[in-house]
Chain A
Amino acid sequence: MRMEGTFEVGAPRERVWRCITDPTLMVACIPGCEEIAPVDARRYRARVLVEVGPVKARFNLVVEVVEELPFERVASVTRGEEGTRASILSAENMVILAEIGPALTEVRYSSDVSVTGRLAKYGLGMMKKRVDRLGVEFAERFRERIAAGATSA
């Protein structure tokens, strides 16, 4: 299942870069994200609540940055499972920043998400919609945060 999208942020690319690499800010932007904590230089641990209709699943994820080109792009892989091990999630993610103007940055993101286990039985269409919407919600929140000047950097 693939999720992708593009949105623009009214901020210089370097600032956007600092935001997307700032775990505190990402907690606030990722829908359902309850916690992010760095494990080491390249890895984060995250807890995310995914709600699909009446079904709620809390995933414990590890995000590992596999490639980082400062200010331009970051590739990561996500692995994790529900607390009960009932579903397993893995994803390959890519975020690419493009400078459109001095204070305008385009964020392109894509993620190949694979879920197996109980949630996988739940209907492909719904999961896709849910994941697409997560992307849109993320973009909205991210823009809001940047507009509000919220960055620890």
Chain B
Amino acid sequence: MTTPDAAPVVGQSVPRLEVREKLTGRAQYVADLYRPRMLHGAILGSPHAHARIKSYDVSAARAAPGVHCVLTGEDFGDHRMGAFIKDEHAIAKGKVRYVGEPVAVVAAETEAQARAAARLVEVEYEELPAILTPAAALAPGAAVIHEELASYFKVFDAVCGGNVCSRTELAEGDVERGFRESDLFVEGRYRTQPQAHVSLEPCGALAEVDAAGRVTLWSANQSVFRVQANVCESLGLPMSRLRCLTPRVGAGFGNKMEAHVQPIVVKLALATGRPVRLVLTREEDFEIVRARHPFEVRVRTGVKRDGTFVAREVEVLLDGGAYADDSPGVLGYSLLMARGPYRIPHTRCRGTLVYTNKLRFGAFRGFGNPQVTFATETQIDEIAAQLGIDPVEIRRRNALGADDRWFGGQALASNGLPECIDVAERESGWNARAAARAAPGRRRGLGFACTAHIGGLLGTGAIVRMLEDGTVVLNTGAVDIGQGSDTVLTQIVAEALKLPLDQVSVASPDTDGSPYNWGTTASRVTYTTGRAVLAAAREVERQVKAHAAEMLECAEADLELLPGGAVGLKGVPGKTLPFVAISARAHWRKGGPIVGTNTWVFDRPTVDPKRAVATGLPFPQIGVYSFGAVAAEVEVDEVTGQVAVLRAWTVADVGRAINRASVEGQLEGAFAQGLGFALFEALVFDGPRLANPTLMDYKVPTSLEVPYELHAHIVEHPEPDGPFGAKGVGEIGINAVAAAIANAVAAATGARLRELPLTGERVLGALAAAAANTG
């Protein structure tokens, strides 16, 4: 019998646990935290892209009103941080490597005083040649950005030297043979632009030191554990001396995964003994955090006349900016994704990541996948056009099936790609698409693209603890950055223990008390942490049953969980024990109290050495694959070349949707971010300097650019070891958007653009070129 209390919660659109506090303005983000005697931090940024720091004079700044402390690189030890290559100091030391790089930091009584004082710091520089493009970085005799690169600690076998930060190669089959066996090949060069995350909440942190010298750090982040590692590495601080917490986070998309201002704020708090808060302005957030890598991609694909893909060769060149950050991961991952979700027996992908004197580029939703997918998925449309095959049909023919493996050799335990293609085709009315519905002066087109993405990566843990009254606390260390993971993980516990949702509470991530969690990244929380949560809940069930068996004097195997928080003897109505009775007893008996724990590291190998060859790939085990397809209908204004997206369908196989509304929200939000990437978002550099670091000049989509007819469709092909079959959804929705829109523009106009964004200017140019070719 099912009581209303115990209706299944997995698969339901349960409202966010924290929704009321967000709706009423009570949710506290880092800028909303105030501590007694709190000081404010400010940063002086470098005016130069590449220069040696010769000297500092901080006397005027120290004497300025309200100032408590002024620190420069000299006050920081020679410690470096980095997720893959430890190449970055907490602030510039010895050299500056991009415009805006923090060179001095100040703590003062007020924000205005801190900012005014920061400007009074005198820094003497010796300018060095600025390397602003990958080509310049690779040129013979180029100035070297990291002279000590060889000596930096690296967590993977990096192939590096000069300004090359890493080189990666991944190959399967015999690509030369593949091209020989092809009837046709298509080759193209594609370029994508740097995109800014623009989490609505700018990055910030607040640190406080206790009487024993231990630091508590609240910050906008995607992983309290990465924050702890970055801060301690860059300051030479034992990790035991730093406790990292997280208030509500106003979204991340990758820019809050690795460090931003946390090391600076901790250092200022240690130096002053006072709480220090520093929240970046929007301009600083643009200038000094990180952004999506600009890519140059060369793709050559060989096919049979019937449309069968045979061979592909890909070369990517990434501008990594001044520091490695997550770039080696982005490079490796982009190669892993460059074959797309298709069977291409002979594939070779190579990539080079170079340092330049620009803002570091790093993790951003999609992690290199949107860039290569733009290249490969628009090329597929070119191939389809040349062969006279329908673009959806050619994808379906080559799509990975249930028994296929991913590029590199990893087996796919679940694969909903064919269904994603079917759903997007059906819902978008693909086969009934008409060319001529547009008003005069406008043209319409429908475009299609597919993608896949992993969810997984590295370590995670969960503790499910039963309180005396039989309710439970879930503690995972996973940061909910707004995507809704707290709710999803709670649903998993509630479902596993047949508890009402309100009897499960979620502990806020805390490096002191939470089990390790790599972070909210790589579309991983639902799958990896969810799996740990489910295992920990199962452990709670086992312990509950052990106690109940003693109490009821029966075998554990004869017991079952009953809805609403109770254990019963199978087949014997009335022989039940509520959790409260079991837990209260367990707190006084041997074998109690009841705590379920689980930790694990994702362990399926990315590369099967019998099938593929890889060098410089920084992740030996990566994740399980989600699949997706996007169809987009655009209208092109013939007068201006401007593109509007009229309708869109975004479909993803997420294994199992634990929370349908959340999954839709991820797909819709990712589509909007992809739309901005496709059409107008671009960081513009004027020489070494970012020319549009404001929301007046850098535009993100408003409610008028994103179509109301944005339809998210969920496909469910359960991942066998995923929690209730679930796999990742955070990133899959963005990868194929630009390609689908570019394909739609090509369908509407006959103009094929190989460079993003698809601005009116470019489209108008391509329209004219297309007209000239046909005319």
Residues of B near A150 (CB, < 8 A) are none
Q: Is A21 an interface residue (CB 8 A)?
A: no
Residues of A near B100 (CB, < 8 A) are 116
CA distance A123 to B283 in the complex (A): 13
Q: Is B119 an interface residue (CB 8 A)?
A: yes
Question: What 0/1 readout, one digit per residue, does chain A (96-129) give for beta carbons within 8 Å of chain B?
Answer: 0000000000000000101111001101100000
Asked if B119 and A116 make an inter-chain contact with CB atoms under 8 angstroms apart, the answer reads: no
Q: Is A86 an interface residue (CB 8 A)?
A: yes
Q: Do A120 and B119 contact each other (CB < 8 Å), given the known contacts A88-B47, A90-B47?
A: no
Interface pick from B188-196, B355-363, B682-690: B682-690
* Min CB–CB distance B70 → chain A (angstroms): 14
Q: Is A37 an interface residue (CB 8 A)?
A: no
CA distance A84 to B60 in the complex (A): 13
Q: Do A85 and B119 contact each other (CB < 8 Å), given the known contacts A90-B47, A116-B99, A121-B694?
A: yes
* Min CB–CB distance B172 → chain A (angstroms): 45
Asked if B687 and A1 make an inter-chain contact with CB atoms under 8 angstroms apart, the answer reads: yes
Asked if A86 and B686 make an inter-chain contact with CB atoms under 8 angstroms apart, the answer reads: no
User: Which A-chain residue is minimally distant from B99 (CB atoms)?
Assistant: A116
Residues on A close to B: CB < 8 A? 1, 84-86, 88, 90, 112, 114-117, 120-121, 123-124
Supply 7 A–B pairs (Cβ within 8 Å), ascending by A.
Answer: A112-B687, A114-B688, A115-B689, A116-B689, A117-B47, A121-B693, A124-B692
The DSSP consensus for interface residues of chain B is: loop
Asked if A124 and B688 make an inter-chain contact with CB atoms under 8 angstroms apart, the answer reads: no
Asked if B283 and A121 make an inter-chain contact with CB atoms under 8 angstroms apart, the answer reads: yes
Q: Is B554 an interface residue (CB 8 A)?
A: no
What are the nearest 5 A-B pairs in CB distance? A85-B119, A88-B47, A124-B691, A116-B47, A124-B686
User: Which B-chain residue is minimally distant from A84 (CB atoms)?
Assistant: B119
CA distance A121 to B286 in the complex (A): 11
Q: Is B120 an interface residue (CB 8 A)?
A: yes
For chain B, give the interface size range.
Answer: 10 to 19
User: Which A-chain residue is minimally distant from B44 (CB atoms)?
Assistant: A85
Interface residues of B in 556-572 (CB under 8 A from A): none
Question: What 0/1 readout, one digit per residue, does chain B (88-117) give for beta carbons within 8 Å of chain A?
Answer: 000000000001100000000000000000
Question: What 0/1 readout, one digit per residue, does chain B (680-722) give for beta carbons within 8 Å of chain A?
Answer: 0000101111011110010000000000000000000000000
CA distance A124 to B693 in the complex (A): 11
Residues of B near A1 (CB, < 8 A) are 686-687
Residues of A near B99 (CB, < 8 A) are 116
CA distance A121 to B99 in the complex (A): 13
* Min CB–CB distance A71 → chain B (angstroms): 29
CA distance A112 to B692 in the complex (A): 19
Residues of A near B697 (CB, < 8 A) are 123
Q: Is B366 an interface residue (CB 8 A)?
A: no
* Min CB–CB distance B121 → chain A (angstroms): 9
User: Which A-chain residue is minimally distant from B694 (CB atoms)?
Assistant: A121
Residues of B near A88 (CB, < 8 A) are 47
CA distance A78 to B45 in the complex (A): 20
Residues of A near B692 (CB, < 8 A) are 124
Asked if B689 and A114 make an inter-chain contact with CB atoms under 8 angstroms apart, the answer reads: yes
Residues of B near A112 (CB, < 8 A) are 687
CA distance A116 to B47 in the complex (A): 6
Asked if A114 and B684 make an inter-chain contact with CB atoms under 8 angstroms apart, the answer reads: no
CA distance A124 to B687 in the complex (A): 11
* Min CB–CB distance B661 → chain A (angstroms): 39
* Min CB–CB distance B689 → chain A (angstroms): 6
Q: Report which of A84, A85, A120, A123 forms a contact with B689, defined as CB distance below 8 A.
A: A120
User: Which B-chain residue is minimally distant from A116 (CB atoms)?
Assistant: B47
Residues of B near A121 (CB, < 8 A) are 283, 693-694
CA distance A75 to B689 in the complex (A): 23
Q: Report which of B48, B119, B283, B684 forms a contact with A124, defined as CB distance below 8 A.
A: B684
Q: Report which of A85, A86, A114, A123 forms a contact with B687, defined as CB distance below 8 A.
A: A114
Residues of A near B686 (CB, < 8 A) are 1, 124
CA distance A55 to B122 in the complex (A): 25
CA distance A49 to B10 in the complex (A): 66
* Min CB–CB distance A38 → chain B (angstroms): 22
* Min CB–CB distance B305 → chain A (angstroms): 50
Residues of B near A90 (CB, < 8 A) are 47-48
Q: Report which of A86, A115, A116, A124 forms a contact with B45, defined as CB distance below 8 A.
A: A116
Residues of B near A123 (CB, < 8 A) are 697
